[in-house]
Amino acid sequence: MRFISTRGQSPALGFSDAVATGLAPDGGLFLPETLPSFANDLKRFEKLSYPELCFEFLKVFATDIPQETLRAIIAKSYTTFSHPDIAPLKQLSEKLHVLELFHGPTLAFKDFALQLLGNLYEYQCRTRGETINVLGATSGDTGSAAIHGLLGKPGTAIFILYPDGRTSPLQERQMACTGAANVFALAIDGTFDDAQNALKDVFGDQDFRKQFRLSAVNSINLARVLAQCVYYLSAFLRLPAAQREEAEFVVPTGNFGNVLAGWMLQKMGVPIRGFRVATNQNDILYRLFTTGEYAVSDVRASLAPSMDIQVASNFERFLYFNVGRDGAKVREVMQTFKTTGRYTFANFDKDSFDASRCTDAEIPGIIKDVYRKYGYIADPHTACGFKDIKTDRPSVILSTASPAKFPETIIKAIGTEPTHPSLEVLKAKPLVKHKIVADPATIKAFIREHAVR
């Protein structure tokens, strides 16, 4: 299978090259040239384990990796998860379910893709005899998951930009307390969007990118989105048969990658009814799906920091399909947005998406209410998914992070401190971070000094 850029000005690549490249040279994002259909495979998928299901799905895309090698890479990637179901589906009431995505090594949904991506990078370094330098930006969970996917792997170095003081203390410790020589936690003054913009500028320097064999771990990387499709498929198959085609998936999201994965799976023949984009008070996606205007506003630090984003990178992939796969139109929209900070769609087709918005003032009350009704502790991001939950249809709320990563908010809401052994260990380790300006030239200078060659 070949992969093309949303902006239509880069050559099509195979899976491994698209993964290694990350961001397309024309500034676009890679997508499959054609979307396969899994409509006729659902019955045979029902009894597969999570790693087996992941293999059956990804082998359709990763056609340049020998199947037994791919199977082994996938199997290795999910040995680090603590729950036997990998992504357990918990039933809270007759029609309400929670898909727990926080049983990986960093206790967040990003582990599903980044454990796999780390092992894909290791495979590529070994088979191609090359090193790779990985650059990412994070609002909280991506950075720690990416780092833990590459910890100590030979031939790799990883550089993660994050907004200093705008992640939770434990999220920062997961990035800056590893002690690994190939890990660099880069704390910037500013917001996630500042980090993401600088990252894109660095990747835009094609000579620098090629010289240092730079790759991306953000959800701009195609492998991230494809890997995340699998937990939607797993959840769909474990719902009661009578509820499957009526279920709405409710997805706390900031960068749009998590919910985009489910939507793409729907376009591959899996009959999911629809999706609700659950934002926090940084609500660019809520405004988009309710008004048709995509417009930046100031990022406000929140109790759900992983969603403190105003520029949702993965929206470009949805846009590509929304405008009839017209690369020129995508370029026009994205250039207007970059120049003016807004784009108004005259006839915006929101497809099967709905949206909700949750403020900081509401989050503790929602956590308390969910705990009282169901005895379930939701982290602040998951709490946003419980806002305006519909009772007339089956719903699956994606629980994106362990509540143990946000103890202050949970204590305030229910008076109980959630803990996790891996986080307790971090509290005693030294914090090693590099303060850096979110400027492409400064970031490139740091990479030159510390890159693996």
Annotated catalytic residues are 110
Within a 10 A sphere around the Cβ of 363, how many other Cβ atoms? Answer: 28
> What is the Cα–Cα distance from 253 to 361, expressed in whole angstroms?
18
Determine how many CB atoms are found less than 10 A away from the CB of residue 48: 16
Contact present, 246 and 393 (Cβ < 8 Å): yes
**Tokens standing for residue 381:** 């991001």
**Cα–Cα distances in angstroms (integers) from residue 444 to residues 185, 199, 252, 450, in the given order:** 14, 10, 33, 10
One-letter amino acid at 9 equals Q
Compute how many other C-beta atoms are within 10 angstroms of the C-beta atom of residue 415: 9
Instruction: Specify the 3-state DSSP secondary structure of 32.
Output: strand
Q: What are phi and psi of 279, to 5 degrees?
A: -100, 165
Q: Give SS3 for 134.
A: strand
* Residue 214 in tokens: 């730079």
Dist. CA 249–CA 266, nearest whole Å = 11
Do residues 197 and 27 make contact, with C-beta atoms less than 8 angstroms apart? no
Q: Evaluate whether 401 touches 141 at the Cβ level (below 8 Å).
A: yes
Tell me how far apart the alpha carbons of residues 183 and 172 are, in angstroms, rounded to a whole number. Answer: 13
